[in-house]
Amino acid sequence: MASGDKNPGQIRPVPDPVPPVQHARNPGMPLELDWVRDVRVNRSAVERRAGTIGPRRGVKKDWQAAWLLRAIRLMDLTTLQGDDTPGRVQRLCAKARRPLEQHLIDALGIGHLGIRVGAVCVYHEMVATAVEALGDSGIPVAAVSTGFPAGLSPLPQRIREIEASVAAGAQEIDIVITRAHLFTGNWQAMYDEVKAFREACGPAHMKTILATGDLRVLRNVARASLVCMMAGADFIKTSTGKESTNATLPVSLVMVRMIREYLERTGVEIGFKPAGGISQAKQALVYLAMMKDELGRAWLDPELFRFGASSLLTDIERQLEHHTSGRYSATYRHPLA
């Protein structure tokens, strides 16, 4: 930035928007039990590596603002509350279409970028409302399905739920695995179940939620990630947001390493979605740095990376407000719904 700029908060130069790359769907592969059983995870090494990402990859000033704008494009803006109403979902969709206030857009000089979120994530009951509210914006609706969050309803009922959400207009389906299959070592049952969900999704992209807070050890996380990718998952996702522990950096690092291993073995790119507990802008920056380090530039696009977020957008707005004005705004000035 030139020293004579009249607006020191403005990001310049700002690149022209780049259309998202259309990645091929994951066709899946036969279950290779030897590969699954051979998986090992060195927990202490994972935790050491995860602990170095933030300190090594800090960004400041204009660079930080640019990365935070990128994070907005990668959000699945989410409401999964028992008291959700059509009005709340409509307001959330309005925020998804225009996540930043006009004065911030003007101050940052990004009006031509058309910043918007990656998707809106809701329960099946609210899919039709979200589809109507988003209109021709191009923002997909993601529906949580298969007896979310426990995933313990009868299998035919879970499959019908997927089909109903797709019929209502959902373009992405977030399913949950049956954790009991993992704890009993029944990898074939997990594979068959996830494969059936994938078939029910049809053209809709499938994100497979592992509920990593319930899986106890990192080796379980790695093995479940691998089985779900073999069964055809387009994304693997950390959490429902309802567990006592949701997305963490060590768990996420294990999952992206399995994505990398699957890519090296099959040539297929799988997406990743950390969800639950990521509410601060500085956390989002660390996750972005991890994705770029571990998987490369392609995983900084919505086609391959999403944040499951509700309050994260509010903190990003406050950080951008500080970048442009030197002051933090009150949280209530940035309502979501």
7 backbone dihedrals φ, ψ, rounded to 5° = -115, 95
Q: Is 237 a catalytic residue?
A: yes
pLDDT for the residue 329: 82
Q: Is 60 a catalytic residue?
A: no
List 214, 234, 273, 315, catalytic entry: 273
Least confident interval from 43-52, 54-63, 137-146, 240-249: 54-63
Average pLDDT over residues 39-56: 95
280-297 burial, b for 16+ CB within 10 Å, e for fewer? bbebbbbbbbbbbbbbee
pLDDT at residue 319 above 90? yes
pLDDT for the residue 22: 58
pLDDT for the residue 130: 98
pLDDT at residue 21 above 60? no
187-209 burial, b for 16+ CB within 10 Å, e for fewer? beebbebbbbbbebbeebbbbbb
Per-domain residue ranges of the chain: 33-51+58-326
Helix axes 43-56, 281-294, angle to 10 degrees: 110
- What's the mean per-residue pLDDT of the chain? 92
In this predicted model, what pLDDT tens digit does every residue of 24-42 receive, in sequence order? Answer: 899 999 999 999 999 999 9
* Per-residue DSSP letter, 245: S
pLDDT for the residue 336: 74
> 141 with 43: CB under 8 angstroms?
no
pLDDT for the residue 90: 97
In this predicted model, what pLDDT tens digit does every residue of 68-81 receive, in sequence order? Answer: 999 999 999 999 99
Confidence of residue 11 (pLDDT cuts 50, 70, 90): very low
pLDDT at residue 18 above 70? no
Q: What is the pTM of this model?
A: 0.91
pLDDT for the residue 112: 93
In this predicted model, what pLDDT tens digit does every residue of 173-218 receive, in sequence order? Answer: 999 999 999 999 999 999 999 999 999 999 999 999 999 999 999 9
List 95, 195, 207, 237, catalytic entry: 237
Work out the number of other CB atoms within 10 angstroms of the CB of residue 132. 14
pLDDT at residue 64 above 80? yes
Q: Is 61 a catalytic residue?
A: no
pLDDT at residue 121 above 50? yes
How do beta strands 307-309 and 271-273 pair? unpaired
CATH code that applies to domain 33-51+58-326: 3.20.20.70
Q: Across 8-17, 55-64, 157-166, which has the greatest mean pLDDT?
A: 157-166
pLDDT for the residue 337: 63
In this predicted model, what pLDDT tens digit does every residue of 86-115 receive, in sequence order? Answer: 999 999 999 999 999 999 999 999 999 999
List own/partner pairs for 101-107 with CB under 8 A and 24 or more apart. Answer: 101/317, 101/334, 104/317, 104/320, 104/321, 104/324, 107/7, 107/9, 107/10, 107/324, 107/325
pLDDT for the residue 309: 86
pLDDT for the residue 15: 39
List 174, 214, 234, 301, catalytic entry: 174
